[in-house]
Amino acid sequence: MAAAGEPFACLTCYDATTARWLARGGVHVLLVGDTAAEVVLGFDRTIDMPLEVLIALTAGVKRGAPSCVVMGDMPFMSYQADEAEGVRNAGRFLTQGLADVVKIEADASMAGLVERMTRAGIPVCAHVGSRPQRAALTSGYVSAGRTPQDAARVEEDARALEEAGAAMLLVEAVPPEVASRVVAGAKVPVIGIGAGPSCHGQVLVLQDLVGMSESPPAFAEPVARLGPEYERAASRWVEQVAQRRVGGVRFTMRGGGVESRPSGEG
């Protein structure tokens, strides 16, 4: 699609049921992101995402949407400490997690890791620009590429990681002109998030898109308001239970029902 100039749609996803509906809606790529730490497990940071849980969630998404490209997001410290460990963990995403590609937050200094993963047969999406796993160094989530020097660094990171073998790039929270330069210089598909319209693909956190996030980022424009719908459904169920109106089809006894016992029998 990138080669044909056809934009492709990506969303985060964390379970098989949702994956099935997103696939029916035509979404091309499902990212099982470390944002699951926040939207599924209730943490305040993405770096608290356990590797084992994310691998299991990735497999569930692929089983729910086998026709979609499923991307497993390698969580904090699953690849940074040791290249060999990073390759092994990436391989687990493909074998146990059924992923088609793994995503790592990286810069030019991690080109060697991308090369080793690629050499092992693991397709890699290199995530440049704003990198949420580094939020502790920047006192929170921040944008990237907003000065000439930082913009040049984002472009160099993308170029070095592609040359190392990255099969895709993801650029996050940069000015549109920076993303456009990354796209112009890339020979692989580029996915954007908060990076303007020029990227080959676009991704958002699903909860931000459907109106279930309390405080979505400014670049995420909701297209639905499912949060209030969930609230209304829950409220109706509470009301029905209080009135003993559970609804649905009831089971019936077979063979004539329950015989009552004579009074006084034990």
pLDDT of residue 266: 52
> Tokens 């006894």 correspond to what residue?
253
User: What is the C-alpha to C-alpha distance for residues 27 and 38, in angstroms, rounded to an integer?
Assistant: 22
Helix, strand, or coil (residue 193): strand
Q: What angle is formed at CA 152 by the lines to CA 146 and CA 154, rounded to 5 degrees?
A: 75
Q: Is 172 a catalytic residue?
A: yes
- 145 Cβ contact partners less than 8 Å away, ≥ 6 residues apart: 129, 151, 153, 154, 174, 175, 178
Mean pLDDT of all residues belonging to the chain: 95
| Positions of the chain with pLDDT lower than 50, given as ranges | none
The pLDDT tens digits for 116-133 are: 999 999 999 999 999 999
Catalytic residue among 163, 172, 214, 239: 172
Q: Domains, the chain, ranges and CATH?
A: 8-209 (3.20.20.60)
Which residues, other chains included, contact 238 with Cβ-Cβ below 8 Å and sequence gap of 6+? none
The pLDDT assigned to 139 comes to 81
Residues 6+ apart with CB under 8 A from 73: 31, 32, 33, 34, 35, 54, 102, 103
Alpha-carbon span 111 to 164, nearest angstrom: 5
Residue 102: the pLDDT is: 98
Do 35 and 57 form a contact (C-beta atoms < 8 A)? Answer: no
Closest CA to 105 of 133, 82, 83: 133
The pLDDT of residue 255: 81
The identity of residue 12, as a single letter, is T
Residue in 211, 187, 183 with CA at minimum distance from that of residue 195: 183
Residue 140's pLDDT is what? 84
- Report the candidate in 14, 13, 15 with the shortest Cα–Cα distance to residue 29: 13
